Amino acid sequence: MAKPETKIPRLVLRLYVAGDAPNSLRAVSNAKALCDQHFASRYELEVVDVLKHPRRAQADGVVVTPTLLKLQPLPGQRLVGSLSDSVAVLLTLSGR
């Protein structure tokens, strides 16, 4: 008898940055590296520049950059900073 397949939910993230600011560039790099290493092809990362799209940041309640929003799977989570503490980022993204 075959085991039922467990569908692993797709991780959906939105990262708000402020142009080419050093912390923003670091956050993008850290987010991509962590996701590529730990979530392979099971993630979607949208990067939003608040300098170009301030209303989107306002709609999501983002007042500081960089800010990473975990949209799916629920519960949603929010991380602020360059995402350099990979252990804390992974714990947040895994819902722990």
Report domain extents, the chain: 11-93
CA 47-28-64 angle, to 5 degrees, is 70
Q: CATH classification of 11-93, choosing from 3.30.470.30, 3.40.30.10, 3.30.565.10, 2.40.50.140? A: 3.40.30.10
* Alpha carbons 10 and 61: distance in angstroms, whole number: 23
pTM above 0.85, yes or no: yes
pLDDT in tens, the chain (96 residues): 555 555 678 999 999 999 999 999 999 999 999 999 999 889 999 999 999 999 999 999 999 999 999 999 999 999 999 999 999 999 988 876
